[in-house]
Amino acid sequence: MKKHLLLTVFIVGLTCVHAANTPDGVSADSVTIPERKQTLREWFKHVPQWFSSTDSNVAKGVVKKWFEAISIRGYAQFRYNRLGETNPELKCEQCDRSWGDGGGFFFRRIRIIFFGNLTKRVYFYIQPDFASSVSATSLHFGQIRDAYIDVGVDKRSEFRFRLGQSKVPFGFENMQSSQNRLPLDRADALNSAVSNERDIGVFFYWAPEKIRKRFSMLVNDGYKGSGDYGVFGIGAYNGQTANKPELNKNKHLAARLAYPFQIKSQIIEPAVQAYTGKYTMPADLISTGVKTTTDKTYLDQRIAFSLVMYPKPFGIMAEYNIGRGPEYNKHTDSIETRKLQGGYVTVNCMIRAKKHVIFPFVRAQMYDGGKKHEKDARSYSVRELEVGLEWQPVRFFEFVAMYTISSRRFEDSSKKDNLQKGQLLRLQAQVNF
């Protein structure tokens, strides 16, 4: 069934190309078979031009050198999480490893992004992070986060394929850059779907040029947008998450539908997204004695609903997902396929005071389910309230103060009864360049 779905996506892509090349005023249904063959031959003849730097500038004697097509930007986040801490055993491994006992001053992210349009239809994006933690004692290693190319099918790249390692189109907050997000970490409920939000695969995106510009505006004008992941996206990826080897022949499939409606001065963006596949637990994440399936492989599927009202000046973000995935069961000392559910609501406001921009925000979240990327597919039950403020005195610098009131049950084979409650003040300074 999945192979048929991928074949369907490819056929849809060719159909879109064929429609784009059908003469104006002529119905595609009215074109005869010989004419269709001729149209496809003409299309394939022009494919090499996509990868050429030839454009209207050539006629003017102006040809860009390769390095003139490349842009560089980035950001870094510096944190301290232990002010007013009431429980050093309260931690969140997937959120921020400097929480709790052993934490201190911490670089959460140090990223430099290389990107650019090599031609009108070929775009590349490479983003390494130099604050990766390979273990509890080894910090600040370089690691690839994104490395992909976009190939436009039509001259406006309204239809495009993305090849490489990139964000999986599942959840608004997952796709929203940490450079733009208000809370310091993504909510457990949806972020537990894909560690680091990314995987390697092939995705197809479509959005009209007008809506692509709207997606860009919502980021560039400071409204905390998610970026351009199309009105519709569908694709296949390994399913073991970013920078991890594939451990089974099965490929995950994901699809997302979203549209930012403009109602007078306000923009509201509803979305629905889902994925399905099989996840294999890595051997180094399974404790001795914990029971698993024969091949350590589990059904992994979710569906999520999103609703975003951008802060103009008041904003709301709400997402909720349900599904099934691997989770530790302390009663049987085994990893099993179990149900999961959870979501969050964030309320915020954008205040402009002269050149300063201020975002007060509140987020409430809950999650009941497993985290397949952690030891023994650790079982979680999370209830958390966060109250914070982001201050931007200049566009190159941001400061966030966030007070967290949390109740977290996180259990694996070594901690079968582990409920931690506490409060803490978290601080972050971010530089944008």
Alpha carbon dihedral 286, 188, 112, 152, in 10-degree steps, equals 100
> Rounded mean pLDDT of the chain?
88
What pLDDT shows up at residue 8? 45
| Average pLDDT estimate for 302-331 | 98
User: pTM score, two decimals?
Assistant: 0.84
208 upstream amide cis, omega within 30 of 0? no
DSSP state of 285: G
Give the Cβ contact number of residue 366 at 10 Å: 18
pLDDT at 412 over 80: yes
* pLDDT tens digit sequence for 163-196: 999 999 999 999 999 999 999 999 999 999 999 9
- 425 — pLDDT class (breaks 50, 70, 90): very high
* pLDDT tens digit sequence for 11-66: 444 444 444 444 444 444 444 445 544 545 554 555 555 555 544 444 455 566 77
Give the Cβ contact number of residue 38 at 10 Å: 12
Per residue, the 3-state secondary structure of 33-89, as one string, reads: HHHHHHHHHHHHHHHHHHCCCCCHHHHCCCCCCHHHHCEEEEEEEEEEEEECCCCCC
* pLDDT tens digit sequence for 83-96: 999 999 999 988 89
